Structure 1
Amino acid sequence: MQTIARAGNKLAYRFTPGIGPGLVFLGGFKSDMQGTKAVALEDWAKRKGRAFLRLDYSGHGESGGAFADGCIGDWYQDALAVIEAVTEGPQVLVGSSMGGWIALLIAKERPERVAGLVTIAAAPDFTEDGFWRDFNDAQRAEVMEQGQTLLPSDYGEPYVITKRLIEEGRARLVLRDPLPLPFPVRMVQGTDDASVTTTTALRLLSHVTCDDIRLTLVRGSDHRFSEKDDLELIRRSVVDVLKRLPD
């Protein structure tokens, strides 16, 4: 494990040197860099001699900080700090779920650092269009008056959804304003995903401005998107993006 410091936290990452453009895997909400998709893609990159970076945002995995203290802006800044510290030039970002939102923020704010983009069940604006939209009146009151609420999770202990997460997320929304993506983009999405539906994928596809973008829907795949065929589709999507980059 390697680390850098940002905002009082140690950010953990693993970087494998190789040819560029390198790949950067950006994980999801409360996930970590040890997940199946990140490790499988790293293994492939090593075999191909391609540079690869995976990382943990603050409050996630092996990085310092408390999860409940974080927000989208913090995790975006964490990812950007590690990318700028350990990589050179434009990278191909691979964003899973929340990582797709973070990748889109990097593309919006630092497009010169992005060579291409692959999203896996991307979840842009989910704090507003998912959590806040679906909260009932009692949950909204609890967030605003007590500072947080708890949501059940299919992946372990409940999610702590804080007032700061909701309010700060409103400054990071990417589906309300024009979003140019001047590089190859490949999106993959499972039709049985209960966390991020195909509606979100289609909304993102229609919203962005991009001359080279494709969305692949996989019948029966869920939010984990970690079965053998799913992992192979992720690899093929990365290869397709790499093939379309200028020499």
Structure 2
Amino acid sequence: MSARFLETAQGRRIAYHKTRGDGPVVVFLGGLKSDMEGTKALHLEVWARARGQAFLRFDYSGHGISSHAYEDTCIGDWHQDTLAVVDQLTEGEIVPVGSSMGGWQALLLAKARPERIKGMVTIAAAPDFTEDGWWASFDAAQKAELQEHGLVHLPSDYMDPFVVTRRMIEDGRRHLVLRDPLDLPFPLRCLQGTADTAVSTETALRLLDHATCADMRLSLVKDADHRFSDPKCLVMIEQAVTEVLSI
């Protein structure tokens, strides 16, 4: 099936696939420079169809086949994209499943639309990574390059080297979720691999300690990496989503 497109109020064209079924709608929020054709998104779509569950996956602006260039977008833009998709393409309760940067997006969504969320699952959630990961790891030369030229190139274990722009850093600071109270009034299941070199176990523990949530559980999976997409990990994701749907 061909992707459909949603035009946002900001003029961005967001590609998506929506599977009809019973609610709540499971909404997959992908990671940085990932797209809706990734292993986890497609696996959950097959799982949702098999059980008659409504499911939605999409590409943020600057990702996949949505509009705009990655270098021209940032956390706040992707938050606006997420809100547009949720507000215009879903009704009633939703279950966001956020992977890596999508975990940060899921938490921003929880702050903006708490009444819509039945439960949430995060996979190697990376809240505040622009500040605590990128900016905190930059040396003086990189910080100077960012200020002077507006961008820095960084290597990655999980993708091609990518560009970090000054706008990404500055915008990220306006969307931090681990500095102020974070109330999550719904069941939350967090999955984290111990062999993840992109998001540390310490980040997962920091989120667990910081959030106010009556039903929050963190599962650490020995030797699982950041992709968290081998058969055993995919089953764990299914189980976590099933659990929060049933509560």
TM-score range, shorter chain: over 0.9
Is residue 44 from structure 1 mapped to residue 52 from structure 2 by the alignment? Answer: no
Normalised by the size of structure 2, how large is the TM-score?
0.97
Which residue does the alignment assign to 2:6?
4
What amino acid is the match of 1:14? H
| 1:134 aligned residue | 137
Q: Which runs of 4+ in 1 moved over 6 A?
A: none
Tell me if 1:182 matches 2:172: no
2:76 equivalent to 1:73 = yes
Per-residue deviation, 1:232: 0.2
SS at match of 2:214: coil
How much does 1:157 deviate? 2.8
1:1-247 correspondence runs (5 A): 1-6=3-8, 7-244=10-247
- What is the TM-score of this pair, normalised by structure 1? 0.97
Deviation by residue 1:47-95 (Cα, 9 ceiling, x = unmatched): 0000000000001001010000001000011011011111101200000
Which ranges of structure 1 fall in alignment gaps of 5 or more residues? none
Distance 1:91 1:230 in 2: 22
Aligned residues between the structures: 244
- The amino acid of 1:19's aligned partner reads D
How far, CA to CA, are the matches of 2:157 and 2:124 in structure 1?
16
Alpha-carbon distance in 2 for matches of 1:176, 1:113:
23
Amino acid at match of 2:215: D
Per mean C-alpha deviation after superposition, the further-off stretch among 144-153 and 189-198 is 144-153
Within 2, Cα distance between the matches of 1:156 and 1:165?
A: 18
| Conserved? CA contact 2:62–2:69, under 8 Å | yes
- Following the alignment from structure 1 to structure 2, what is the Cα–Cα distance between the partners of residues 94 and 69? 25
- Cα 1:16–1:158, aligned 2, differ >3 Å: closer, same or farther? same
Gaps of 5+ in 2: none
More strand per residue: 1
